Structure 1
């Protein structure tokens, strides 16, 4: 290699090294000084504030079904969601065969109400009292006027 080529490399390294040191060295020194000046003294946290007694929960809640009764047993195939209409006293449910069934609460009468042609998964009433249906096989939901 020629002398001029080696000289150029040395100058390039020196020109890169000087700004690197000029920027990094003050940052390191400032960090060290601030670390030494910081009066941080951790305090022991009392264990009684974080250790609470364990809550025991029974595996079976025997009172869970108190006051409930079976309705439309064996007449509704794979019900997914339930919506109760208090004004009419009926429960709407979406079934796996595509039907939205209407169940009269007092008499347990099951009626095939609307067939969506899909799989109704979610049911809800909007502000006007219309039934909104989310169907798994349809791109848009249904808007059924009750």
Structure 2
């Protein structure tokens, strides 16, 4: 009988040992991966979140900044063309072929300025009235004057 009892105990011990073998990888994974994570959560304390204060001085109205003249003599040798003849000039375009200066004025006129030896000898003439407000001028590739008017629109049909 002792031999039979040892045979019957062997399968039971084998089942218990197989169960221990299944738990061993889980314990190893837990010990290597999860234990440091759990320890970090327990011992590491997060700092409290303190938002930055609102900079009220940035939001308050500030007096407007005025541009300072860096050089009072920057226009000392300049000559003014069409002084008193150009009402609210907006933009200029220079045609190097004809050596004319075009400018759009607030009254709707595109003025043509012929530059001579001095500003006193320069000629300012009313060239074309757009009936609007010419804001931008440019001389095109074929020596045509292209005008951007603030009040006029081009309707394509």
* TM-score normalised per structure 1: 0.53
> Aligned-pair distance for 1:126?
1.4
Shift of 1:140: 2.8
Structure 1 residue 65, shift from structure 2 partner: 2.3
Runs of at least 5 residues in structure 1 that lack an aligned partner in the other structure: 1-28, 37-57, 142-146
More helix by share: 2
Match of 1:125 among 139, 143, 157: 139
**Structure number with bigger Rg:** 2
Kindly report the root-mean-square deviation, in angstroms, between the aligned alpha carbons of the 2 structures. Answer: 2.8
What's the CA shift for 1:59?
3.8
Question: How far did residue 87 of structure 1 move?
Answer: 1.9
Give the length in aligned residue pairs. Answer: 89
Greater relative contact order (Cα < 8 A, sep 6+): 2
1:79 and 2:93 correspond: no
CA change 1:127–1:66 in 2 (3 A) is farther
How far residue 89 of structure 1 moved from its aligned partner, in angstroms, is 1.9
Deviation of 1:72 (Å): 0.7
Q: Distance in 1 between matches of 2:94 and 2:108?
A: 19
**Contact conserved, 2:136 with 2:147, CA < 8 A, in 1?**
yes
Partner of 1:108: 122
- C-alpha distance after superposition, 1:60-103 (max 9, x if no partner): 22453255311110011110001111222211000111000001
Query: Deviations 1:14-65 (Å, cap 9, x if unpaired)?
Result: xxxxxxxxxxxxxxx9xx97xx9xxxxxxxxxxxxxxxxxxxxx84224532
* SS across alignment from 2:128: strand
Aligned structure 1 segments of 4 or more residues deviating by more than 4 angstroms: none
Q: What are the ranges of 5 or more consecutive residues in structure 2 without an aligned counterpart?
A: 1-32, 41-67
Q: Distance in 1 between matches of 2:69 and 2:127?
A: 39
